Chain A
Amino acid sequence: MKRYDMIIVGAGPAGLSAAVEAAKHGMCVAVFDENAKPGGQLFKQIHKFFGSKEHQAKVRGFRIGEALLKQANELGVEVLLNAVVTGIYADKEVIVRHNDTVRHVKGDTILVATGASENMIAFPGWTLPGVMGAGAAQTMINLHGVLPGKRVLMVGSGNVGLVVSYQLMQCGCELVGIVDVAKKIGGYGVHAAKIARCGVPFYMGHTIVRAEGTDHVTGVVIGEVDEAYQCISGTEKQLDVDTVCIAVGLSPMSQLLDMAGCQMQTVSAKGGTVPVCNADGETSVEGLYVAGDVSGIEEASSAMIEGRIAAISAARKLGYLGEAPASEEISKLQASLEALRQGMFAPGNRGKIIEQTEEGIRISNSLLTKGYLEEQEIERFPGFHTQKGIHPVIECTQNIPCNPCQDVCPRHCIMVGDNITALPVVDENSACSGCGLCVASCSGQAIFLVNDSYDQTHASVTIPYEFLPLPAVGTIGVALDRSGNPVCEAEVLSVKANPAFDKTNLLTMKVPKEMSQKARFFAVKSSEQKG
């Protein structure tokens, strides 16, 4: 039976990061993945990630995946694809199905990084073609370039639901609405806001009553729910859709660990049944590690760090790395991981209702229930201020671990500080040059450039714009407010697509002066809109 220093199950962000780290320290590694391509779910993440520089913030997920794969290849890490690990037994014996044979291999250490599976909800019609996981829709559009349908209802307002909704809109789907039984939006406010300003309604406190159709979805009925999450009769509403996407959370795929004899526990905050493990990710079975979603649902950014920690810990165990350097590396990585686990969306805060920011500012209720900030609410946040000439307006109102805006500003107008979950503060006397790097770097697309004195009667507003086609300079369209309502006519003054912006184009529009704090999105005139 072939032996390896480390057998890694799953070539997603956690598994690949571990493989790279282990290979760096000279370990003989085997990586098995059941899919035809490595990368797990990273390659369908086309949005910019949060975090700080060390977490590769403002880099799009698939680019992180490409870099990780390149690194793995350079280090000679071999990923065996279409290799399904079907069991893990005593003495770290791993059974792999590859093509038409079954192989037994042994690992002195094993890392299980199998990720998660999508949760589902059952409702009449949920088996109809056209009802699918949000992840499925994301796979179809971002990996295969095919739309799942044309008119979509999203069920679930967590980050997956919000991110996939936006991505569906980016490739031309019409998003009919987002439904959630919860009264408050579960994901980041900034993700909700970029959907709301396109005019997508949030149906909070609503459930999906049924999907209609005989051979596939032709419509859906939603309704308001009571305290017991049952639909209140008389509140039903029919929506014309051909696709229903379900994004109601993820569950760790931990069956292999249960089978391997690890002590398991069910923890709601981690998303389900996970192995009990120490800070290095080592389970109750010595030398058997976990990293990424399988050990508790989090982000790809944290999965990558966890993978590296597990690999270093394994390297120390097997003597590839001395005690001192290993401990030093691990503490550094743990600090980095800790930074990602801060803020109001930290795993420890799951399910808690947070009324105030760390700074003591009241959270916008409108943002949590409708997906957008009311205009009069912006002023109480430190990213807002008025000044003569062009300057950033930062509509970042929740504590999330992210600070690229601070790093990119060449004039140091934006301050987040050492605590990366702090709300960005715009310097009162900022010497903003209007370069727009902050606008493009904001993974939440929450930064706008406003110039109240564009001319005597007009202001200019620069917005992040990730849609096609890009409107031509001079196009007269309408400016939409944060709720997606048209508020005034707007003329496109410029559209900048700098490689440094990485596809977040900067669209500058001219609007009447009094609209400078209202206009937050641009649309071609509705008569010219398709459909």
Chain B
Amino acid sequence: MKEHENLRVKPIQWHSEPDDDLIICRCEEITKGEIRKAVCDGMVTIKEIRRYLRTGMGLCQGQTCGKLVKGIVAKELGVKPDDLEPATGRAPVRPVEMQVLGKESEE
């Protein structure tokens, strides 16, 4: 997305906010401040934030925090949440133990 590439060159100055300590990603216990900081560090897509912080990569796979993270990142970048591309859907969409993943049945 071109728009994001433009955002990337616009540096965002870090400043703290009173609710930075608020948990956003419940599974991985990532705070609002950490997400805001990641944007200042140059992470401008949900995918990048996810790789950088592990938001949405816990047991629930972003089911709960997806929209919240998007809202925070969008606000930080000064864009509309709907303009941000959501994180890519990847298999497995639900947590599966490695031992089960390794047991493929032939039918």
Our verdict on whether A and B bind, yes or no, reads yes
| Assembly CA distance A258 to B104 (angstroms) | 24
Chain B CB within 8 A of A90 CB: no
Q: Is the CB of B22 within 8 A of A122?
A: yes
Chain B CB within 8 A of A361 CB: no
Contact residues in A for B92 (Cβ distance below 8 Å): 84, 86-87, 95, 97
Contact residues in A for B88 (Cβ distance below 8 Å): 258-259
How far apart are A414's CB and chain B's nearest CB, in angstroms?
42
| Assembly CA distance A117 to B65 (angstroms) | 11
**Which positions 2-43 of chain B face chain A at CB distance < 8 Å?**
19, 22-24, 26, 32
Q: Report if A1-B91 is in contact (Cβ < 8 Å); known contacts: A119-B67, A122-B22, A251-B66.
A: no
Contact residues in B for A104 (Cβ distance below 8 Å): 104, 107
Contact residues in A for B24 (Cβ distance below 8 Å): 122
Q: Nearest CB to that of A105 among chain B residues?
A: B107
How far apart are A92's CB and chain B's nearest CB, in angstroms?
15
| Assembly CA distance A266 to B86 (angstroms) | 9
Chain B CB within 8 A of A268 CB: yes
Q: Is the CB of B94 within 8 A of A124?
A: no
Contact residues in A for B78 (Cβ distance below 8 Å): none
| Assembly CA distance A120 to B66 (angstroms) | 10
Q: Is the CB of B100 within 8 A of A101?
A: yes
Contact residues in A for B104 (Cβ distance below 8 Å): 101-104
| Assembly CA distance A122 to B55 (angstroms) | 14
Q: Is the CB of B32 within 8 A of A122?
A: yes
Contact residues of B: prevailing secondary structure? loop
Q: Is the CB of A100 within 8 A of B103?
A: yes
Q: Report if A124-B19 is in contact (Cβ < 8 Å); known contacts: A87-B93, A95-B91.
A: yes
Q: Is the CB of A102 within 8 A of B82?
A: no
| Assembly CA distance A313 to B93 (angstroms) | 27
- 1/0 per residue, CB under 8 A from A, across B86-98: the answer is 1011111110100
Q: Is the CB of B89 within 8 A of A258?
A: yes
| Assembly CA distance A117 to B90 (angstroms) | 17
Q: Is the CB of A84 within 8 A of B23?
A: no
Q: Is the CB of A87 within 8 A of B91?
A: yes
Contact residues in B for A21 (Cβ distance below 8 Å): none
Q: Is the CB of A103 within 8 A of B93?
A: no
Q: Report if A256-B100 is in contact (Cβ < 8 Å); known contacts: A119-B67, A124-B19.
A: no
| Assembly CA distance A358 to B94 (angstroms) | 45
**Which positions 45-96 of chain B face chain A at CB distance < 8 Å?**
61, 63-68, 82, 86, 88-94, 96
Q: Is the CB of B101 within 8 A of A84?
A: no
Chain B CB within 8 A of A434 CB: no
Q: Report if A97-B107 is in contact (Cβ < 8 Å); known contacts: A258-B89, A273-B86.
A: no
Q: How many A-B residue pairs have CB under 8 A?
A: 87
How far apart are A528's CB and chain B's nearest CB, in angstroms?
43
How far apart are A160's CB and chain B's nearest CB, in angstroms?
16
- 1/0 per residue, CB under 8 A from B, across A252-263: the answer is 011111110000
Count chain B CB atoms within 10 A of each CB in A2, A87, A89 and give the residue with the most. A87
Q: Is the CB of B101 within 8 A of A102?
A: yes
Q: Report if A255-B89 is in contact (Cβ < 8 Å); known contacts: A122-B22, A122-B32, A122-B68.
A: yes
Chain B CB within 8 A of A201 CB: no
Q: Nearest CB to that of A126 among chain B residues?
A: B23
Q: Is the CB of A256 within 8 A of B107?
A: no
**Neighbour of B93 across the interface among A86, A100, A120, A273, CB < 8 A:** A86
- 1/0 per residue, CB under 8 A from B, across A105-141: the answer is 1000000000001011111101100000000000000
Q: Is the CB of A120 within 8 A of B64?
A: yes
Contact residues in B for A102 (Cβ distance below 8 Å): 96, 100-101, 103-105
Q: Nearest CB to that of A95 among chain B residues?
A: B91
Q: Is the CB of B107 within 8 A of A2?
A: yes
Contact residues in A for B101 (Cβ distance below 8 Å): 102
How far apart are B30's CB and chain A's nearest CB, in angstroms?
11
Q: Is the CB of B93 within 8 A of A256?
A: yes
Q: Is the CB of B91 within 8 A of A259?
A: yes
Contact residues in B for A267 (Cβ distance below 8 Å): 82
- 1/0 per residue, CB under 8 A from B, across A1-18: the answer is 110000000000000000
Chain B CB within 8 A of A272 CB: yes
Q: Is the CB of A1 within 8 A of B94?
A: no
How far apart are A158's CB and chain B's nearest CB, in angstroms?
15
Q: Is the CB of B23 within 8 A of A122?
A: yes
Please name 19 pairs of A and B residues whose Cβ atoms are closer than 8 Å in the assembled complex, sorted by A: A34-B94, A84-B96, A86-B94, A87-B92, A87-B93, A103-B104, A119-B67, A120-B64, A120-B65, A122-B68, A123-B22, A256-B89, A256-B93, A258-B86, A258-B89, A259-B90, A259-B91, A266-B86, A273-B86
Interface pairs A-B: 7 shortest CB-CB = A87-B91, A255-B89, A86-B92, A258-B89, A259-B89, A101-B105, A266-B82
Instruction: List residues of A whose CB falls within 8 A of some B CB.
Output: 1-2, 34, 84-87, 89, 95, 97, 100-105, 117, 119-124, 126-127, 251, 253-259, 264, 266-268, 272-273
Given contacts A97-B96, A123-B22, A257-B89, 16 further A-B contacts (CB under 8 A): A34-B94, A84-B92, A84-B94, A86-B92, A95-B92, A102-B96, A120-B68, A121-B68, A122-B68, A124-B19, A126-B23, A259-B88, A259-B89, A267-B82, A272-B86, A273-B86
